[in-house]
């Protein structure tokens, strides 16, 4: 992919054909009565990945995770872990641990005993349990709270206890079910970095389920976007954001302008798209193969559209419109610009200077401009 | 909590509690009566408690009652807990509504009917009446109460706790012993105490199902009272009141404490 950075030196086992996956979903289908939760799904997850399953509620992401943990069995297809089929292995015999959304800390046990629970069930000798628990307490910065009960610590601390308990047995695979949903925003952001740090230090493969796209983008090495039991796109966060394969993915991740139009000229990778009468055709360079006369969508991120009295230098597209809405969120301002054709285009400008007069106001006539590589052409 | 009660509320609370407890208070006071006549006050004394302690018939009945109550409470907790688990955990199965209705029906059934049907059954299967028959009959009723108490606790039980235990390598039995049971223990204990006090109080079912060597304390009391009230009865009643109130109080305390802990847990999780 020429438009994005070369990733060959980075961690990317999914591009290496000789790499063996840790998890393989092979034609997996899961039905609950008439309802198909997972529909003929194929997916490889590699060792040491931080893999995110992302989608709206009811898309099947939690079912996939529960199949990995062993709480659900696939109706059809096979699930492989580390080269062995795990369909018939009960949850208490799998080298997989899970961090539950509700944390599911044992309320009658102290933090220390919560973390030691799995080690004791494993039958580890006492003189090995102690050091291992201490290690987990240090890793999650919980040393001071070892003798507290779960109802005597804060939400953020409980989240870390749940993580420590799940990691204590050094599982090959750690499943995280909406691990940060119960935390407030500030704590959630800090915890995301902590999770990444712990994942890197322990070298464990993490699979996280979330409906928060920002969270998935932050932590994951790859994201699987799901809808109605199917994988819509599996890719790295930057590819998901900058090169979505469908309007569903483009719309689900972040903010986007979707302009529907018809291809009127093709010259190699560049083409022009007419979208409304009286408006200039749009120039796009896109790797998507299109044909003359085809209906396509241009997906254009608001932050890639410049607003100003005139078009920016070196941009290949320029449209004139009226500012109908301004959303100021501190770091950025989002302008809703209505074109003569009735289309509303969102454009974002970062507020780089603290003391500056606002130069664009409601009802101003302004020019939107962007380059021919700013957007992506989508067929569906 | 700090809101002032209006005088109407104060009056109704006072009247209500008087209605409930004045008779009992009178019994307690008269159990310390010196006089031989039950209804005439003759000064303070604890001599009737002494006489009671020397009354062989009452003592043996008390022992029988306690033995029965212990067995009944324990059996009812085991069977009632099993019923509660099926009611809450088994999901939808054919006849579930009927099953739950059948579990709860004895709660509203008059004990006379339970007693009579038990008597007919025991005669039908030719079972000699005695302690065993009382235990069986009382247990059938107590199961329902225990099932209600435990089922209501299980309804608010986060099943992820059991899944977490399994996920960490515990077997199903270990999960029950180390996680489920300790967490629902307050409900199990209050169910046990409830069944225990019910068995200790029961006169109706016991009168239908008792045999020659199994006169429980309520039965003994009732037959003694019919031939004239001795001040000893007051002393005995006071002791029974003390035991039952202690049981009820501790059941209540356990429930309140576990409820507070549960609320604290949920409060922080939000």
Q: What is the ipTM of this complex?
A: 0.83
Distance (Å) from the alpha carbon of B169 to chain A's nearest alpha carbon: 4
Q: How do residues B41-64 score in pLDDT, each as one tens digit?
A: 888 888 888 888 888 888 899 899
For B184, which residue in chain A has the nearest alpha carbon?
Answer: A108
More confident position, B60 or B258 = B60
Asked if the model's pLDDT at residue A9 lies above 90, the reply is no
User: Is residue B257 assigned to a domain?
Assistant: no
Q: How do residues A87-96 score in pLDDT, each as one tens digit?
A: 889 999 999 9
Closest CA to B267 of A379, A155, A17: A155
Strand ordering across the sheet containing A50-54? A96-99, A173-177, A205-210, A50-54, A222-227, A230-235
User: Is residue B54 assigned to a domain?
Assistant: no
For A279, other C-beta atoms within 10 Å of its C-beta total 17
Write the CATH number for B66. 1.10.3720.10
The domains located in chain A, with CATH, are 16-247 (3.40.50.300), 255-379 (2.40.50.100)
pLDDT band at B2 (very low <50, low <70, confident <90, very high): low
Read off φ and ψ for residue A151, nearest 5 degrees: -80, 0
Flag if A106 and B264 touch (Cβ within 8 Å): no
Asked if the model's pLDDT at residue A277 lies above 60, the reply is yes
Spatial contact of A168 and A136, defined as CB atoms under 8 Å apart: yes
Looking at residue B268, its pLDDT comes to 45
Read off φ and ψ for residue B36, nearest 5 degrees: -75, -25
User: Is residue B203 assigned to a domain?
Assistant: yes
Looking at residue A1, its pLDDT comes to 40
Distance (Å) from the alpha carbon of A110 to chain B's nearest alpha carbon: 13
Type and span of the H or E element at A99: strand A96-99
Read off φ and ψ for residue A277, nearest 5 degrees: -65, 140
Q: How do residues A317-375 score in pLDDT, each as one tens digit?
A: 999 999 999 998 888 999 999 999 999 999 998 888 877 767 788 888 999 999 989 98
Do the bridges between strand A50-54 and strand A365-370 make them parallel or antiparallel, or are there none, so unpaired?
A: unpaired
Looking at residue A351, its pLDDT comes to 85
**Beta bridge partners of residue A96, listed in sequence order:** A173
pTM over 0.90: no
User: Is residue B210 assigned to a domain?
Assistant: yes
Read off φ and ψ for residue A346, nearest 5 degrees: -95, 135
Do the bridges between strand A173-177 and strand A96-99 make them parallel or antiparallel, or are there none, so unpaired?
A: parallel
Mean pLDDT of B81-98: 85
**What is the CA A212 to chain-centroid distance, rounded?**
7
Asked if the model's pLDDT at residue A225 lies above 90, the reply is yes
Read off φ and ψ for residue A281, nearest 5 degrees: -70, 150
The helices-and-strands tally (H runs, E runs) of chain A is: 8, 20
For A365, other C-beta atoms within 10 Å of its C-beta total 10
Strand ordering across the sheet containing A84-85? A35-45, A23-32, A76-81, A84-85
Q: Which residues on chain B are in Cβ contact (under 8 Å) with A145?
A: none
pLDDT band at B265 (very low <50, low <70, confident <90, very high): low
Q: Which residues on chain A are in Cβ contact (under 8 Å) with B269?
A: 102-103, 155, 158, 182
Read off φ and ψ for residue A128, nearest 5 degrees: -100, -25
Closest CA to A223 of A243, A203, A199: A243
pLDDT band at B3 (very low <50, low <70, confident <90, very high): low
| B contact residues 85-114, partner A, Cβ 8 Å cutoff | none
More confident position, B86 or B73 = B73
DSSP alpha helix (H) spans, chain A:
61-69, 111-121, 126-139, 155-167, 185-202, 213-219, 237-242, 247-252
Contacts (Cβ under 8 Å, ≥6 apart) of A309: A366, A367
- DSSP per-residue letters across A261-307: EEEEEEETTEEEEE-STTSPPEEEE-SS---TT-EEEEEE-GGGSEE
For A346, other C-beta atoms within 10 Å of its C-beta total 19
Looking at residue A339, its pLDDT comes to 92
Closest partner residue to A107 (CB to CB) among B163, B166, B261 is B261
**What is the CA B7 to chain-centroid distance, rounded?**
35
More confident position, B202 or A17 = B202
Q: How many CA atoms lie within 13 A of A87 on its CB side?
A: 14
Vertex A70, ends A65 and A75: CA angle to 5°? 85
Looking at residue A347, its pLDDT comes to 93
Closest CA to B127 of B46, B210, B60, B202: B210
pLDDT band at B78 (very low <50, low <70, confident <90, very high): very high
Looking at residue A314, its pLDDT comes to 87
Domain count, chain B: 1
Flag if A154 and B160 touch (Cβ within 8 Å): no
Spatial contact of A360 and A366, defined as CB atoms under 8 Å apart: yes
Distance (Å) from the alpha carbon of A122 to chain B's nearest alpha carbon: 7
pLDDT band at B264 (very low <50, low <70, confident <90, very high): low
Looking at residue B171, its pLDDT comes to 94
User: Is residue B154 assigned to a domain?
Assistant: yes
Q: Is A13 on the interface with B (CB under 8 A)?
A: no
Mean pLDDT of A233-254: 92
Read off φ and ψ for residue A374, nearest 5 degrees: -70, -30
For A1, other C-beta atoms within 10 Å of its C-beta total 10
Domain that holds residue B185: 62-228
Mean pLDDT of B66-71: 95
**What is the CA A25 to chain-centroid distance, rounded?**
19
Looking at residue A3, its pLDDT comes to 45
Type and span of the H or E element at A259: strand A257-267
Q: Is A101 on the interface with B (CB under 8 A)?
A: yes
User: Is residue B68 assigned to a domain?
Assistant: yes
Average pLDDT, chain A: 89
pLDDT band at A2 (very low <50, low <70, confident <90, very high): very low
User: Is residue B37 assigned to a domain?
Assistant: no
Looking at residue B263, its pLDDT comes to 65
pLDDT band at A287 (very low <50, low <70, confident <90, very high): confident
Asked if the model's pLDDT at residue A5 lies above 60, the reply is no
**Beta bridge partners of residue A30, listed in sequence order:** A38
Asked if the model's pLDDT at residue A257 lies above 80, the reply is yes
- DSSP per-residue letters across B147-178: HHHHHHHHHT--THHHHHHHHTT--HHHHIII
User: How many residue pairs from chains A and B have C-beta atoms closer than 8 A?
Assistant: 75
Asked if the model's pLDDT at residue B69 lies above 70, the reply is yes
Closest partner residue to B179 (CB to CB) among A69, A96, A106 is A106
Spatial contact of B217 and B65, defined as CB atoms under 8 Å apart: yes
User: Is residue B248 assigned to a domain?
Assistant: no
Counting Cβ atoms within 10 Å, is residue A240 exposed (0-12), middle (13-18) or buried (19+)? buried
Asked if the model's pLDDT at residue B173 lies above 90, the reply is yes
Contacts (Cβ under 8 Å, ≥6 apart) of B267: none
Mean pLDDT of A65-74: 93
Q: CA separation (Å) from B145 to A178, B66, B139, B195?
A: 39, 19, 10, 7
């Amino acid at each position: 992919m020429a438009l994005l950075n070369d990733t060959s030196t980075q961690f990317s086992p999914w591009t290496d054909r000789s790499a063996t996956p840790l998890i393989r979903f092979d034609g997996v289908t899961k039905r609950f009565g008439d309802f198909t939760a997972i529909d003929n799904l194929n997916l490889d997850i590699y060792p040491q990945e931080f893999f995110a399953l992302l989608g709206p509620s009811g898309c099947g992401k939690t079912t996939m995770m529960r199949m990995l943990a062993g709480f659900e069995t696939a109706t059809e297809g096979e699930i492989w872990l580390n080269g062995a089929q795990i369909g018939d292995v009960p949850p208490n015999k799998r080298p997989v641990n899970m961090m539950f959304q509700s944390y599911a800390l044992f309320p009658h046990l102290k933090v220390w005993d919560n973390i030691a629970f799995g080690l004791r069930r494993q039958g580890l000798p006492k003189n090995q349990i102690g050091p291992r628990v201490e290690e987990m307490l240090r890793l999650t910065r919980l040393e001071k709270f070892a003798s507290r009960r779960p109802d005597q610590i804060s939400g953020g601390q409980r989240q870390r206890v749940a993580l420590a308990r799940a990691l204590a047995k050094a599982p090959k695979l750690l499943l995280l079910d909406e691990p940060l949903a119960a935390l407030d925003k500030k704590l959630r952001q800090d915890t995301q970095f902590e999770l990444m740090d712990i994942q890197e230090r322990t070298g464990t493969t993490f699979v996280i389920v979330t409906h928060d796209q920002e969270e998935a983008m932050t932590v994951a090495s790859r994201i699987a976007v799901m809808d109605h039991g199917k994988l819509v796109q599996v890719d790295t966060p930057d590819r998901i954001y900058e090169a979505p394969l469908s309007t569903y993915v483009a719309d689900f991740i972040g903010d986007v302008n979707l302009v529907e139009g018809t291809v009127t000229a093709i010259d190699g990778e560049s083409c022009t798209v007419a979208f409304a009468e009286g408006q200039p055709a749009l120039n796009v360079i896109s790797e998507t193969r299109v044909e003359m006369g085809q209906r396509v969508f241009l997906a254009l991120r608001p932050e890639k559209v410049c607003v100003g009295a005139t078009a920016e230098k070196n941009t290949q597209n320029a449209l004139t419109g009226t500012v109908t809405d301004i959303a100021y969120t501190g770091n950025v301002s989002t302008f809703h610009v209505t074109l003569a054709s009735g289309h509303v285009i969102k454009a974002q400008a970062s507020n780089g200077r603290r003391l500056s007069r606002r130069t664009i106001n409601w009802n101003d006539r302004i020019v939107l401009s962007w380059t021919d590589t700013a957007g992506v052409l989508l067929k569906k | 909590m700090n809101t002032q009660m209006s005088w109407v509320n104060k009056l109704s609370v006072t009247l209500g509690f008087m209605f409930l407890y004045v008779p009992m208070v009178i019994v307690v006071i008269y159990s310390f009566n010196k006089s031989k006549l039950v209804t005439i006050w003759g000064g303070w004394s604890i001599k009737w408690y002494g006489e009671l302690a020397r009354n062989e018939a009452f003592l043996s009945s008390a022992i029988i009652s306690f033995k029965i109550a212990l067995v009944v409470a324990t059996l009812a907790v085991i069977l009632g807990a099993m019923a509660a688990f099926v009611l809450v955990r088994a999901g939808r199965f054919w006849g579930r509504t009927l099953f739950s209705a059948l579990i709860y029906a004895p709660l509203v059934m008059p004990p006379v009917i339970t007693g009579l049907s038990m008597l007919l059954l025991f005669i039908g299967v030719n079972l000699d009446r005695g302690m065993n028959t009382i235990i069986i009959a009382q247990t059938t009723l107590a199961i329902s109460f225990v099932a209600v108490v435990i089922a209501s606790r299980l309804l608010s039980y986060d099943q992820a706790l059991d899944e977490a235990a399994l996920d960490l390598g515990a077997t199903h039995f270990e999960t029950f012993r180390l996680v489920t049971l300790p967490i629902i223990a307050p409900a199990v204990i209050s169910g046990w105490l409830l069944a225990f006090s019910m068995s200790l109080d029961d006169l109706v079912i016991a009168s239908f199902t008792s045999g020659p060597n199994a006169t429980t304390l309520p039965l003994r009391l009732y037959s003694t009272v019919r031939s004239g009230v001795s001040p000893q009865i007051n002393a005995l009643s006071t002791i029974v009141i003390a035991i039952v109130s202690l049981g009820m109080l501790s059941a209540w305390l356990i429930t309140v404490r576990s409820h507070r802990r549960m609320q604290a847990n949920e409060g922080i999780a939000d």
